[in-house]
Amino acid sequence: MNPIGPMMWEHRLIEKMLRLFDGEIRKINKNVKIDTVFIDTAVDFIRMYADRTHHGKEEDILFRELAKKQLSPEHARIMDELVEEHKYSRQVVGKLVAAKERYLKGEDTSREVIACLKELAQFYPVHIEKEDKHFFYPCMDYFTKAEQDQMLSEFYEFDRNMIHEKYRKVVDQITAPSA
């Protein structure tokens, strides 16, 4: 297996989560009520799985290794775009969190929450298609089989450590003194 296999599997799970957003948008429109548990779950999924785990492997491993290669201008441009797109998704998630927090304080932020959910649901499929169809496969040509195997091994180690990182943060948040 080459390193893009696990990343493409991750894309399928991200797409599955995003499909749930439409149902949540319909519920918000119908009830003018935000399910904050759903929003918290979606935010956790996007931050920990899509961003920290998936984008983390891309940025911290794949892109790092690609930066050592003489990339074509097109591949260098796409890699730069992908990094910017990752930053953009983090901003949208930040807006979603802020809207949810204001909702909990009594403000009607349903339109803003819907806008953020729609933006993420529209953004990610285009981003994923760019990676799957225009970047991942051609970029594997820059690596030898041994380099790909090493990268795949590093991906597995990265994933193995993610669960520990997540739950260290959970415990730290619970035990942190209130501000």
Indicate which CATH number applies to the domain containing 157. Answer: 1.20.120.520
Residue 178 in domain = no
Residue 179 in domain = no
Low-confidence ranges of the chain (pLDDT < 50): none
Total structural domains within the chain: 1
C-alpha to C-alpha distance for 132 and 95, rounded to whole angstroms: 27
Residue 175 in domain = no
Residue 120 in domain = yes
User: Which domain covers residue 52, as residue numbers?
Assistant: 4-166
Inter-axis angle of helices 4-31 and 145-175, nearest 10: 40
SS3 (DSSP) at 142: coil
pLDDT of residue 179: 58
Instruction: Tell which residue, 34, 20, 9, has the closest CA to residue 105.
Output: 34
- pTM for the predicted model, two decimal places: 0.90
Residue 173 in domain = no
C-alpha to C-alpha distance for 158 and 47, rounded to whole angstroms: 16
Q: Let me know: does 134 contact 78? Beta carbons within 8 Å.
A: yes
